[in-house]
Amino acid sequence: MVDIIIVGGGPSGMSAALYALRSNKSVLILEKENFGGQIANSPRVENYPSVKEISGLDLSDHMFEQIMDLGAQFELEDVLGIEKKDDKFVVTTNYRTYESKAVIIANGVKHRTMNLPNEEKLVGKGISFCAVCDGPMYKGKEVYLIGDANTALQYALLLANYCTKVHMFTLFDRFFGDQILVDRLLNKENIIVKHNMNLIQYVGEDKLEGLVFEDTKTKEKLECNTDNVFIAIGQIPNNEKFSNLVELEKGYIITDESMATKTPGVYACGDTRKKEIRQVVTACNDGAIAALSTVKYIG
């Protein structure tokens, strides 16, 4: 039995652990893959307060070292479900079960990918999922963007502010975002839109060197020489396994401002919850609030 089990070892989960540990609570973090979450794949982070520039991996390592020094426990296991039994929670993983007085869900989301060969290897080496995070690296350059909904439209408008050209590719012949964003985008001279284009190949082994598209109507191939591409085709939350304890909207966990869910003792923070802004600093903010709320709940 520990005081708090945290599901997920990204910035939000580790921030929650930091605040809980400093409140003299015992903490077990269960992480499915690797600590750091999505930010660990970012080659350069320049929007984290007090740190002018750092790689996402180094930032994650610093966070992990900090909580380990404070006594955090961790296991690399996949959480399969959570049940509330009387005044405790039973967390089941692919290996065993654990018990705690409260639970914080901070398992993040996964970006939808193109499911092409070598894609995973090239993430952070030319393939990016966040224009807010990685866009400034390409200031004064041409950039490539794939997507057709609100996030892609917002990214294109953002990139157009400091990139010479934004080449935007959509799979269909139209956009699926808010009309006000579409109108703004079409009025930007440095945003070049190509509809009905399907990405079929990444060029490059150790770093991105180009993209190959296929026109979905004519089947003609288009080869682009580029060292960058932003993939903005959606995110995938993985919260159905917690639906017995939390309320979901489009897969995201609904919380109040204290990060509390509908079940007393269960909190959620970071990208996994319903929210507008998903950045490393907002994830850390959520984690701190979730931990302090949990500490208050435990007493």
Range of the domain at 94: 2-111+235-298
State whether 227 and 255 are in the same domain.
no
State whether 163 and 243 are in the same domain.
no
State whether 107 and 240 are in the same domain.
yes
DSSP state of 138: G
Is 17 in contact with 7 (CB distance < 8 Å)?
A: no
What are the pLDDT tens digits along the chain (299 aa)?
Answer: 999 999 999 999 999 999 999 999 999 999 998 888 888 877 778 889 999 889 888 999 999 999 999 999 999 999 999 999 999 999 999 999 999 999 999 999 988 999 999 999 999 999 999 898 889 999 999 999 999 999 899 999 999 999 999 999 999 999 998 999 999 999 999 999 999 999 999 999 999 999 999 999 999 999 999 999 999 998 899 999 999 999 999 999 999 999 999 999 999 999 999 998 888 999 999 999 999 999 999 99
DSSP strands (E only) in the chain: 2-7, 27-31, 73-76, 79-85, 88-93, 97-105, 109-111, 127-128, 142-146, 165-169, 191-194, 197-203, 210-215, 221-225, 229-231, 235-237, 248-249, 252-253, 266-268
Domain end point (choices 172, 198, 231): 231
User: What is the Cα–Cα distance from 36 to 28, expressed in whole angstroms?
Assistant: 16
State whether 200 and 218 are in the same domain.
yes
Q: How many whole angstroms from its chain centre is CA 36?
A: 10
| Helical packing angle, 150-160 and 179-186, nearest 10° | 30
Q: What is the CATH number of the domain that holds 123?
A: 3.50.50.60
Is 13 in contact with 287 (CB distance < 8 Å)?
A: yes
User: What is the Cα–Cα distance from 38 to 159, expressed in whole angstroms?
Assistant: 20
pTM equals 0.80
State whether 246 and 289 are in the same domain.
yes
Separate counts of helices (H) and strands (E) for the chain: 7, 19
State the Cα torsion 154-157-159-165 to the nearest 10°.
140
State whether 160 and 203 are in the same domain.
yes
